[in-house]
Amino acid sequence: MKVLVTDGLSAEGLEILRQAPGLEVEAKKGLSPEELQAVIGEYEGLIVRSATKVTAELLAQADRLRVIGRAGVGVDNVDVSAATQRGIVVMNTPGGNSLAAAELTIAMILALSRHLPQATQSVRAGKWEKSKFMGTQVAEKTLGIVGLGNIGRLVAERALGLKMSVIAYDPFVTKEAGLKIGVEMKELDELFARSDYLTLHLPKTEETKNLIRAETIARMKPGVRIINCARGELVNEADLAAALNSGRVAAAAMDVFAKEPPGESPLFGCENAIFTPHLGASTDEAQSSVALAIAEQVSDYLVRGTIRNAVNFPSVSGEVMIQIRPYLNLAERMGSLLGQMLTCLDDVTLEYSGEVVKFDTRPVTHAALKGLIQAHLDIPINYVNAPAYARQRGIKVIETTTEETQEFTSLITIKVHGQHEEVQEIAGTLFGKRNPRIVRVGGIILDAVPEGSVIVIRNHDKPGVIGNLGATLGKHGINIGQFKLGRQGGQALCMVNVDSPAPPEVLEELRKLPNIISVRQVKLD
């Protein structure tokens, strides 16, 4: 398998990829979008930082690509939904460069307060302008943090060390969690009104774009200082420039821009603004940490199938993967069996009970959906794109979990709703921790092995049916590996594992036997 690294990765990261069994690594920096499109079809893995734009057009050429690794946090340079649709895992390295970004933020707060870049320029120009560069003390000032995630928290800790009082707005962090680290959680308006310094540490999304604009600046404390080491699009540069020029905002520090490199920006004309060229993650330590992390994650996925820090798939550690793999296998086979028996799909419920609920069941659901949906589509479905295909087709997926079980240590039930077909429901379990078994099909209890070619037969529970089935298959040289039978209320269901698939004419002959209700052959890998 080949991995392409396009934006430069520290040597330690490249070495991990080179050492991974079965991986071949190529580092090609500075490829144009056209050059990248021309070669991307050769690679199973792609590792980028922020320069490479992984667009839907690029992905349309990426026939072999299985994983995109982003050595950093923001995945806004990757079209994650296009990747998901193609079943490509997108991974990032949360936390790997947080300290570097937090330290830059603190450096920005101090540099703004003491005019360090402007004073440096002035001294270099032979001037000695002490009164021009009168500064502001940061201790006892209020720092407002928007986004109290990995970086926001590290900034808070450091600002508390500088004796600032720290408040934050983050819709996903509770008051209690904030207080634990000495931060008071506030609503956004109160944060705007109270902050002497306002620093952004939230992701860029459709909702957060333009968070800092004329209308929000008007709600801020006059003379506020604004720091953006998150994403450029969070700030309307023209509105901020106007506020800097009028003095409504005392100063601003920008590490990131709506367009990078920005070329021109209205902010460049503001003397009270300082800039860095997206240096938040640029320390040796951070680069080595994200490079090691992404190299390990990408190689673990390609070599061992372990998914960590994926933004489009629930993360599963190596140890957990070993434990849940048998459930993934069971759920996929159950989904496939049910999918092949149905003529169309509708909303799906997955019921998990017993030991299986000790684990995050979402990957198991992905596996069941893969089996179900693949049975109805020719394009390749995998664990990553299966939920996207279900959503696209309006199929609602409901999961229920309970620790209680009756007969089995773990039981998975898949129900497809809104159908009027014979079989809409199937239940399965693991025997001996890893051997998949189907234990109920459409209300009939049995004990069948979901493997290889299986003929599923419904019949009236009358003498002679099994003999006729065996004789017909035998007559055509089709060997029966296993024959499992269940019955209820005068009907029976057989699952017959055959060594070679029965041709259509043999299936037709089986259908014509006395007391047969239906015959369907499914293929389970």
Contact residues toward ligand NAD (CB under 6 A) are 73-74, 94, 97-98, 101, 146-152, 169-173, 201-204, 207-208, 229-231, 255-256, 278, 280-281
Residue 140 backbone phi and psi in degrees, to 5: 70, 0
- Determine whether 260 is an active site residue: yes
Q: What is the dihedral of CA 431, 326, 370, 362, to 10 degrees?
A: 110
The contact mask relative to ligand MLT for 277-296 (x = CB under 6 A, - = no) is: ---xx---------------
Q: Which of 16, 23, 73, 356 binds ligand MLT (CB under 6 A)?
A: 73
Tokens of 393: 């087709």
Distance (Å, rounded) from C-alpha 456 to C-alpha 367?
A: 22
Identify the three-state secondary structure at position 122. helix
Radius of gyration of the chain measured on its C-alpha atoms? 30
The kind and range of the H/E element at 121 are helix 116-124
Distance (Å, rounded) from C-alpha 340 to C-alpha 336?
A: 6
Binds 49: which of ligand NAD, ligand MLT, none (CB < 5-8 Å by kind): ligand MLT
- Least distance in Å: CB of 182 to ligand MLT? 26
- 49 contacts ligand MLT (rule: CB under 6 A): yes
State which amino acid sits at residue 16.
Answer: I
Residues 6+ apart with CB under 8 A from 476: 502, 503, 506, 509
Identify the three-state secondary structure at position 54. strand
- Least distance in Å: CB of 162 to ligand MLT? 24
Q: Give residue number: closest CB to ligand MLT.
A: 72
Q: How many other C-beta atoms can be found within 10 angstroms of the C-beta atom of residue 271?
A: 10
Identify the three-state secondary structure at position 126. coil
Is residue 385 within 8 Å of residue 399, measured between CB atoms?
A: no
Site for ligand MLT in 229-288 (CB under 6 A): 280-281
- 371 contacts ligand MLT (rule: CB under 6 A): no
With tokens 């540069």, the residue in question is 237
Tokens of 439: 């234990």
Q: Closest Cα to residue 443, out of 471, 420, 424, 416?
A: 424
Distance (Å, rounded) from C-alpha 143 to C-alpha 199?
A: 7
**Stretch in the footprint of ligand MLT (CB under 6 A) among 68-76, 194-202, 462-470, 501-509:** 68-76
- 95 contacts ligand MLT (rule: CB under 6 A): no
| Marked catalytic residue, from 260, 351, 399, 425 | 260
- Least distance in Å: CB of 71 to ligand MLT? 6
**Stretch in the footprint of ligand MLT (CB under 6 A) among 67-75, 107-115, 186-194, 425-433:** 67-75
Distance (Å, rounded) from C-alpha 268 to C-alpha 245?
A: 11
Is residue 214 within 8 Å of residue 236, measured between CB atoms?
A: yes
> Which residue lies nearer to ligand NAD by CB, 111 or 441?
111
Distance (Å, rounded) from C-alpha 341 to C-alpha 421?
A: 9
Q: What is the DSSP letter of 229?
A: -
- 363 contacts ligand MLT (rule: CB under 6 A): no
Is residue 241 within 8 Å of residue 267, measured between CB atoms?
A: yes
Give the CA count within 13 Å in the CB-facing half-sphere of 368. 28
**Stretch in the footprint of ligand MLT (CB under 6 A) among 69-77, 102-110, 428-436, 469-477:** 69-77
The contact mask relative to ligand MLT for 458-497 (x = CB under 6 A, - = no) is: ----------------------------------------
- Least distance in Å: CB of 297 to ligand NAD? 16
- Determine whether 420 is an active site residue: no
| Marked catalytic residue, from 158, 278, 437, 458 | 278
Strand 444-448 relative to strand 435-441, pairing: antiparallel
Binds 146: which of ligand NAD, ligand MLT, none (CB < 5-8 Å by kind): ligand NAD
- Determine whether 278 is an active site residue: yes
Binds 440: which of ligand MLT, ligand NAD, none (CB < 5-8 Å by kind): none
Q: Which of 97, 228, 374, 413 binds ligand MLT (CB under 6 A)?
A: 97
- 50 contacts ligand MLT (rule: CB under 6 A): yes
- Least distance in Å: CB of 143 to ligand NAD? 15
- 74 contacts ligand MLT (rule: CB under 6 A): yes
Which alpha helices (H) appear in 32-85, and where do they start and end? 33-39, 56-60, 80-85
- 200 contacts ligand MLT (rule: CB under 6 A): no
> Which residue lies nearer to ligand MLT by CB, 55 or 165?
55
> Which residue lies nearer to ligand NAD by CB, 94 or 305?
94
Binds 366: which of ligand NAD, ligand MLT, none (CB < 5-8 Å by kind): none
State which amino acid sits at residue 374.
Answer: Q
Which residues in this chain contact ligand MLT in the complex, by CB under 6 A?
Answer: 49-50, 72-74, 97, 280-281
Q: Which residues are catalytic?
A: 231, 260, 278
